[in-house]
Amino acid sequence: MSGEENQRRLRVNPTLCTGFGYCAEIVPELISLDDWGYPIVDQSPIESDNLNQHAKRAVAACPRLALLLEEMSKAAR
Amino acid sequence: MAGPSPTGGFERIDDHQRRLGVRPAGGEWLLDVLGQSGLRGRGGAWFPTARKWSAVAEHSDGHAVVVVNGSEGEPLSAKDRVLLTLRPHLVLDGAVLAAETLRADDIVIYLSRAATTTERTVQQALKERARAGLPEPAIRIEKCAHRYIAGESSAVINRVSGGLAKPRFTLGRSAEKGVNDQPTLVQNAETIAHVALIARYGTEWYRRLGTESCPGTGLMTLRGNVKRPGVYEVDLGATVGGVLAATGGTVTPPAGALLGGYFGSWFAPHSLRDLPLDADRLRKEHKASFGCGILAVLPEGGCAIVESTRILTYLAAETAGQCGPCVNGLAALSETMERIAASQPETGDYERVLRWMDMVKGRGACHHPDGAVGQLASALTVFKEHLNTHLSGVRCRGTQVQGFPRPPSPGDGWK
């Protein structure tokens, strides 16, 4: 389990995303695709280190740089 | 906010000052007063004004930006234009109070390109203030394309920063980084006008009307099947039924009503009488909102499924075209709902509508898809029984009924 301070979650910038869909192949646990091929992202904090690694890979693989990992502390609303 | 009806245009600076007295200077004191007053934003979100201001004040180093949002892209609304063309000085007073309180050195009045009379009035009012030598920073007008979402706060920030009036995706907050990365307040014109009155008369005066959680009065646009359509200033403690009774009632027995505008909610006729305007009660008891103060009443024989679909189709065309779920989802929903509205559904259409409504929610850079879908969902829920006649292919005469305002043609360009 990752510590409290570096809790992160996946976010997609929908204005950049054009629906390549690589992310959903890399982390299907957190990302599925809608009927038009755009990602539906689970925005809850990522609990396991393993998933965190996959999420990082998905972020790096996005050709549009539309996927990002958000630090949960910054997301305080 | 009301007062004598100015003959021959707007209330001049002399009359304005004679009637209301000279405005006090803004400052930190006003944050406290606004907090106690309970004033909430009238652009549609009903967010506590003092909290919004405090966030900007916290980040301001003397170069904050105050944007008065008078763009009013909502086709059913007329309140901000009416306010700005009758009492521009009230809004301008509030803008200066905001600038003084938030230590802003840029004041922008944000208007739709289509609102030419409003713009002319504001220009004249600004000239009057300059001639009167009022001690205040320069106030400029910035114009945007007349689009539904050009007034969404991130779109406002984009446009005032020199870009297009399209929403943007950001993890940050505009109170910290808004127009040209400066701390920015984007506030609806009506809200700003209330500030100008609260600063003069205080919290107790303001709280004489309204409710504990939604004090004061609000501007309301009445449309559709009502005897006297127009913009009214109403007690926020009132009910929809009370407002209708006080304004002459409906022309024909209502078949329902849309509250809050194109991002609002539909209501059945029997529920209108006791329906509150109070934001918290609407949210808790009805999952609805007064939005930017709109009540559009459906005439006898009118069909909410049909009208809701017309609105959805307009909103689908008004997408900024930036986000896949909004572009694709609203278009697909509109196409499918058009078949249902015409009582010519294909197998699985209703199930697809339910699936897509759920699918697009919360997935845009702004709340355009959420608002569009919320409006549709409320019509489908409230008029479920009638929806079934559409789904079973029985022709609905509601498509022919006049009297509910039709959406305009979609706008042009984004500058």
Same domain, yes or no: B320 and B339: yes
CB of A76 less than 8 A from some CB of B: no
User: Could you say which of B206, B239, B272 is where a domain stops?
Assistant: B206
Stretch (H or E) spanning B129: helix B116-132
B407 in a domain, yes or no?
no
Same domain, yes or no: B80 and B175: yes
Q: What is the ipTM of this complex?
A: 0.92
Q: Which of A8, A18, A35 to mutate to test the interface with B (most CBs of B within 10 A)?
A: A35
Same domain, yes or no: B28 and B164: yes
Q: Residues of B with CB below 8 A from A19's CB?
A: 324
Residue matched to tokens 């209708």:
B244
Predicted confidence band of residue A73 (pLDDT cuts 50, 70, 90) = confident
Rounded to whole angstroms, the Cα distance separating B143 from B114 reads 9
B8-22, B139-153, B295-309 — which is least confidently predicted? B8-22
Per-residue pLDDT at B333 exceeds 50: yes
pLDDT in tens, A28-71: 999 999 999 999 999 999 999 999 999 999 999 999 999 999 99
Same domain, yes or no: B128 and B236: no
Same domain, yes or no: B222 and B280: yes
Which chain B residue is nearest to residue A73, measuring alpha carbons? B171
Which chain B residue is nearest to residue A71, measuring alpha carbons? B171
Q: B324–A74: do the CB atoms touch at under 8 Å?
A: no
Contact assessment for residue A6 and residue A68, using Cβ atoms and an 8 Å cutoff:
no
Same domain, yes or no: B139 and B29: yes
Burial per residue of B355-379, b for 16 or more beta-carbon CB atoms within 10 angstroms, e otherwise? ebbebbbebbbbbbbbbbbbbbbbb
Name the pairing type of β-strands A67-71 and A8-12.
antiparallel
In chain A, domain spans: 8-71
Residue matched to tokens 């965190």:
A52
CA–CA distances in Å: residue A53 to residues A2, A47, B161: 11, 11, 38
> According to the model, what pLDDT value does residue A50 have?
95
CB of A70 less than 8 A from some CB of B: yes
CA–CA distances in Å: residue B22 to residues B25, B90, B106: 9, 11, 22
B4 in a domain, yes or no?
no
> According to the model, what pLDDT value does residue A2 have?
43
For position B236, which CATH number holds?
Answer: 3.10.20.600
Flag whether the pTM goes above 0.90.
yes
Q: Which CATH architecture has domain A8-71?
A: 2-Layer Sandwich (3.30)
Same domain, yes or no: B38 and B161: yes
pLDDT in tens, B56-80: 999 999 999 999 999 999 999 999 9
Give B290's Cβ-side CA count (13 Å radius).
Answer: 29
B91 in a domain, yes or no?
yes
Burial per residue of B202-218, b for 16 or more beta-carbon CB atoms within 10 angstroms, e otherwise? ebeebbebbbeebbbbb
CB of A67 less than 8 A from some CB of B: no
Same domain, yes or no: B23 and B153: yes
B408 in a domain, yes or no?
no
Stretch (H or E) spanning B158: helix B153-160
pLDDT over 70 percentage in chain B:
98
Domain range for residue B31?
13-206
Closest CA to A64 of A4, A20, A1, A24: A20
